[in-house]
Amino acid sequence: MLSRHSHRRLNPLTGEWVLVSPHRTERPWQGQVEEKPRKTSQAYDPGCYLCPGNERAGAARNPRYESTFVFDNDFAALHPDSEGPGAGKDGLLVAQPERGVCRVVCFSPDHSLTLATMRPAAVEGVVEVWAQQYSELGAMPEIRSVQIFENRGEMMGASNPHPHGQIWASESLPNELAKEEIRQREYFQRKGACLLCDYLGLEREAGERLVCEVDGMVALVPFWAVWPFETMIVSRRHMAAMDELAAAERRALARLLRQLTGVYDSVFDAPFPYTMGFHQRPTDEAEYPHFHFHGHFYPPLLRSATVKKFMVGFELLGTPQRDITPESAAERLRALSLRNKIL
C-alpha cells in the first residue's frame, strides 16, 4: 500500500504530517530547469573572502590557515548586545530582543574541496571544531541553543563555494529544535524510553530505509521524509550532543559524513546541493535525558541535477508532499553507498 497509494506519514519528532503520493512520479516535467551545479577546481581563489590570506569585509584579513578556521560572522544575524523592551498588543503584536553569536567555520584552506573530497583526517578536524564550538558557545549564560549547519550550493543560497559552514548560537530555542525537544520529552514521559533509540531499532531491523552505517553512526531516509533524498544521521549510542562523542565516535561521524556526501554527489553525477545541520540538547542548565543527538540533510534535487523540488501550493497552504517514497529513495542511496563505499 505504501508504495502504490496516496497516504500520509507522521513525523514523531515534530508531530507534523507529510503527504506521500507515489503515483505522481509518472507525471511529465515541463517546469523550471536549473543549471547543473558546477564543480570548483581552483585550490585558491584570489577573489574568495574565505581563502587563506584574503581580505574580508571591514578590512579584516584571514590568517594563512592550514586546516580549519573559525571567525565571528562579519554579517551576523544575531548580536550579543541586542536589547530593548518587548512589544505586544493583546498577545497579537509580540516582539522580543534576541541575543546571540554567529560564527563561520572554514572546513579547509583548499577552495576546491567539499566534505566528500576532503581527507578523512581533515573531516575529523571539522567534527572536532564543531564539538569545541558547541561547548564554548553553549557555556555562555545567555545561550540556550547552538545550531551547527552547512548550506551547500547556489541552489541552497550559499554565497560562496569555499567549503564552510555556520554556527548560530541563540538565546531562545529555534522552532524546529523546540518542537523536537517537546516531542522527545513527551515520548520519554509516556514510555520511559528514548524516541530515536526506539525508532532506530525499528529501522535497523527493517533495513529498507537504511543508507549506510559506520561504527555506531547510522544514515537513513526517515519514514516521514519530506525532501526527495532527505536523510537523517542518528547515533546508535544514546547521547544528547557532540560534547558526549568519544574519540572513536567522532571519527565514525566524520567517516559517515564523508561517505554520505560522496553518495549524494553520485546520485546525479554532480555536486549535490543541500542544507545540513545537527540537533543537539539545549545548552541551559536543565536536564535532557530524553534528547538524542542527530543530524538532518535536506537536499532539494528531485529527479535530476537540474530539476528542483519547490515547496509551493498545497505544501505551503496545507501539508508537505512528496512523490518519491522514502523507501525507493533509500534503495537508490544505499546502492550507491555500497558501490562507492569510502573507508
Q: Band the pLDDT of 36: cuts 50, 70, 90.
A: confident
Q: pLDDT-based confidence at 68, cuts 50/70/90?
A: very high
pLDDT of residue 27: 64
Q: Which pLDDT score is estimated for 157?
A: 85
pLDDT of amino acid 142: 94
Instruction: Please provide the distance, in angstroms rounded to a whole number, between the alpha carbons at the two ends of the chain.
Output: 37
Q: How confident is the model at residue 291 (pLDDT cuts 50, 70, 90)?
A: very high
pLDDT band at 264 (very low <50, low <70, confident <90, very high): very high
Q: What are phi and psi of 4, to 5 degrees?
A: -125, -30
Q: How many whole angstroms separate alpha carbon 215 and alpha carbon 197?
A: 16
Other C-beta atoms lying within 10 Å of the C-beta of residue 267: 18
pLDDT digits 0-9 by tens, 131-147: 999 999 999 999 999 99
Q: Is the pLDDT of residue 28 over 70?
A: no
Q: How far apart are CA 37 and CA 64, in angstroms?
A: 29
Give 25 or 56, the one with higher predicted confidence: 56
104 pLDDT more than 50: yes
What's the pLDDT score for residue 343?
44
Please, are residues 337 and 263 in contact by the beta-carbon 8 Å criterion? yes
Q: Which residues contact 89 (CB under 8 A, 6 or more apart)?
A: none
Per cent of the chain over pLDDT 90 is 78
Axis crossing angle, helix 195-206 with helix 175-191, rounded to the nearest 10: 90
> Is the CATH code 3.30.428.10 the one for domain 9-339?
yes
Predicted confidence band of residue 83 (pLDDT cuts 50, 70, 90): confident
> How high does pLDDT run on average in the chain?
92
With bands split at pLDDT 50, 70 and 90, how would you rate the model's confidence at 30?
low
For the chain, give every domain's residue range: 9-339
Max mean pLDDT range (26-30, 91-95, 230-234): 230-234
Q: Is 164 a catalytic residue?
A: yes
> What is the C-alpha to C-alpha distance for residues 136 and 39, in angstroms, rounded to an integer?
34
pLDDT grade for 25, boundaries at 50, 70 and 90: low
DSSP code of 140? Answer: S
pLDDT surpasses 80 at 184? yes
Specify burial of residue 92 (Cβ count, 10 A radius: 0-12, 13-18, 19+). Answer: exposed
pLDDT above 70 as % of the chain: 95
| 335 Cβ neighbours under 8 A, 6+ residues apart | none
- Asked if residues 333 and 229 have their Cβ atoms less than 8 Å apart, the reply is yes
User: Which residues does residue 276 pair with via DSSP β-bridges, in sequence order?
Assistant: 150, 297
Residue 59 DSSP label:
G
pLDDT tens-place string over residues 170-179: 999 999 999 9
* Residue in 111, 162, 164, 279 annotated catalytic: 164
Biggest distance spanned by C-alpha atoms of the chain: 60
Beta 145-152 vs 274-279: how paired, if at all? antiparallel
Q: Which residue has the cell 544575531?
A: 78
